[in-house]
């Protein structure tokens, strides 16, 4: 029903706090092509948003500030180098408004974990400030601003399961019949640097010791349509996994523990060091999570399901 407030909200934004929830991502297929002249690698990837969330609250303020609690609080810079702050500046510049907001982050996505936590926070800041300021941009417009902030920020605006090309910023949804996939996420101690992982892959490739590149996403896309976790398990792949294992050899033990616990498949997520395991169903995921945690090969395990929507108010 129409309410008199609706139009005002559109024009002036929100006077109360705006809360946005944003998921973590895994790459079901991460095909890394050659290094481009701009320093990025050409990607063929399938992104998948999973039910581990950061929450960003935006309130009216006289300046732009950021505070945080949860995963990695105290380790992350809260100044202009923070991707959420950069996102607020980018949106304000685009929309021609003052970048005034008090942002607060409750983080559950590990830092530098290969789950795109920083990118998720940038996506959340775009969606939250758009609502707070009443700038009323479309999701595609927000994704356009997002692309300048980081290669996987546009995906976190959209969420779901999506194909990523270019350097990962060109996103198109994968249309599949609704299916939930069940995952076990093994969070490592400490993070890995994404640029370092890409450099290590280039080094391994130059030395001829990297695995054969995955190439096309066709196999994975076909597997998603079959809705059978055993079929999907056979098609998961990550070209950055060799690099992550080379930088952090102990991850091989984490992957082995998941296998020993009966996971259908295990891969390093993105540039690592988080490992994700595919389970048959929710109960299987819970059992594997307990077993992998008991093996002492990671900081903690969590269960998650996907796909879930991208950054959303509420």
Residues with catalytic roles: 25, 152
| Least spacing, CB of residue 60 vs ligand C5P, in Å | 30
Give the closest residue to 122 by CA, choosing from 150, 102, 100. Answer: 150
| Least spacing, CB of residue 266 vs ligand C5P, in Å | 23
Nearer to ligand C5P, 28 or 264 (CB): 28
Is 309 annotated to bind a ligand? Reply is: no
Is 114 annotated to bind a ligand? Reply is: yes
Distance in angstroms (rounded) separating the CA atoms of residues 26 and 48: 5
Nearer to ligand C5P, 43 or 303 (CB): 43
| Residues binding ligand C5P (CB under 6 A) | 39-41, 43, 150-151, 167-168, 194-195, 198
| Least spacing, CB of residue 39 vs ligand C5P, in Å | 6
Contact indicator for 85, 66 with CB cutoff of 8 Å: yes
Is 279 annotated to bind a ligand? Reply is: no
Nearer to ligand C5P, 133 or 155 (CB): 155
| Least spacing, CB of residue 223 vs ligand C5P, in Å | 23
Nearer to ligand C5P, 42 or 291 (CB): 42
Binding-site sequence positions for ATP: 110-120
Per the annotation, binding residues are 110-120
């Amino acid at each position: 029903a129409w309410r008199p407030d609706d139009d005002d909200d559109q024009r002036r934004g929100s006077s109360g706090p705006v809360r946005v929830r944003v998921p973590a991502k895994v790459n079901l297929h991460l095909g890394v092509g050659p290094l481009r002249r701009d320093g990025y690698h050409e990607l063929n990837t399938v992104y998948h948003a999973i039910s581990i969330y950061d929450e960003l609250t935006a309130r009216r303020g006289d300046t732009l500030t950021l505070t945080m609690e949860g995963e990695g609080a105290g380790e992350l810079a809260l100044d202009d180098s923070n991707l959420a702050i950069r996102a607020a500046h980018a949106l304000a510049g685009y929309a021609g408004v003052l970048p005034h907001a008090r942002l607060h982050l409750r983080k559950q996505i590990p830092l530098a974990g290969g789950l795109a936590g920083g990118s998720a926070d940038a996506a959340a800041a775009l969606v939250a400030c758009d609502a707070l300021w009443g700038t009323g941009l479309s999701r595609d417009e927000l994704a356009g601003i997002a692309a300048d902030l980081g290669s996987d920020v546009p995906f976190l605006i959209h969420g779901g399961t999506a194909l990523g090309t270019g350097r990962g910023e060109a996103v198109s949804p994968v249309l599949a019949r609704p299916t939930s996939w069940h995952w076990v996420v093994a969070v490592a101690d400490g993070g890995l640097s994404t640029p370092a992982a890409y450099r290590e892959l280039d080094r391994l490739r130059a030395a001829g010791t990297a695995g054969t590149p995955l190439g096309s996403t066709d196999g994975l896309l076909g597997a998603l349509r079959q809705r059978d976790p055993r079929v999907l398990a056979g098609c998961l792949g990550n070209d950055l996994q060799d690099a992550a294992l080379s930088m952090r050899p102990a991850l091989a033990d984490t992957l082995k523990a998941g296998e020993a616990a009966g996971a259908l498949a295990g891969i390093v997520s993105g540039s690592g060091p988080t490992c994700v395991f595919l389970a048959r169903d929710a109960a299987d995921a819970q059992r594997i999570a307990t077993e992998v945690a008991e093996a002492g090969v990671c900081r903690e395990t969590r269960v998650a399901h996907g796909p879930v929507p991208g950054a959303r108010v509420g």
